[in-house]
A = this chain, B = another copy of it.
Amino acid sequence: MPSLASMSQDTMHSQNAALSGGRLKQPHLASDHGIATSGIQLPQALPSLLARGLTPQDMLRVNAARPTFVTLEPGQSLYYQGDDCNNIYLLLDGWAFRHQILEDGRRQILDFALPGVVFGLPGTGIMTHSLETLTGCTFSVFTRERLFDLMRDVPALGFRLLEIMAAAEARAFEHLTSVGRRTAKERVAHLLLELVTRASQTPAMPRDGSMTLPLMLPHIADALGLTSETVCRALSSMRKDKIATLRGQKLDILDLKRLAHAAGVDLMADFRHGTNGETLRLAS
């Protein structure tokens, strides 16, 4: 139970969310009729995100399973920590994040979800975290049973999902290393680097050094195990050093090389394949 004092910063945003829409007891299931959001034709979007490694025939079968779609406004939650959830979700469009909250209000953001991310997988069914949108979002939904059937029909799908989960695990591990062993400034630099890299790999997102981050300082802080003040100081410092500027939601990378250096990362290695130059050499 957050003492009001400690809530004031860290949980500000979730308060907003709770006020401005918050929990959906029954998510808005848009069911089978195809819904278009922010200009995207969903039945087309799904393949492009999932399809690597699947044949066109496979994708036909996947679409034949008639996934349902959910659309959410910014600041709404798809599910909450503690919910009994037996669906698997694919984020088609928009930004969201997954987070855990301790009883006293401390919040940890676990992962930023960009289009193509899969979550809500099997397990016990009880969710250990919540998912909240940052922008308007569209999700594709499969029930556990439908997924199981689908995986039988389309073996490559299971393999692809494993790949996606493995990538998510790798992200979580990088994140963990950041929070556990990097300084505040390094963490901020590392997160910016991760986000620009992921965004640039997402279709229909910018490839140059400028982009829109639908985040507030407390999001970054809660992702990195810091306070928003510390994040602000780190960003100020990077602005002063002409490495990157983040004003409002506009992020400009001014010097990618030095950003990577500030993040304590070998750009070529870590953000292409995920490895550390130094350690790599030991392994050769």
Q: A residues bordering B, Cβ < 8 Å?
A: 1, 23, 80-83, 98, 100-104, 106-108, 110-111, 121-124, 126-130, 147-148, 151-152, 155, 158-159, 161-163, 165-170, 172-177, 179-183, 222, 224-225, 264, 266, 269, 273-280, 282-283
Residues of B within 8 A of A152 (CB): 155
CB closest residue in chain B, given A178: B108
Contact check: which of B82, B174, B269, B283 meets A276 at CB < 8 Å? B82
Judge whether A275 and B127 touch: CB under 8 Å: yes
Pair A225/B180 contact, Cβ less than 8 Å: yes
Contact: B165 with A158, CB < 8 Å?
no
Q: Which of B98, B128, B266 contacts A103 (CB 8 A)?
A: B266
Q: Is the CB of A224 within 8 A of B180?
A: yes
**Other A-B pairs beyond A100-B173, A122-B162, A124-B273, 8, CB < 8 Å:** A80-B283, A103-B276, A103-B278, A107-B181, A128-B274, A155-B155, A162-B162, A181-B225
Contact (A151, B159) CB under 8 Å given A181-B108, A276-B101 = yes
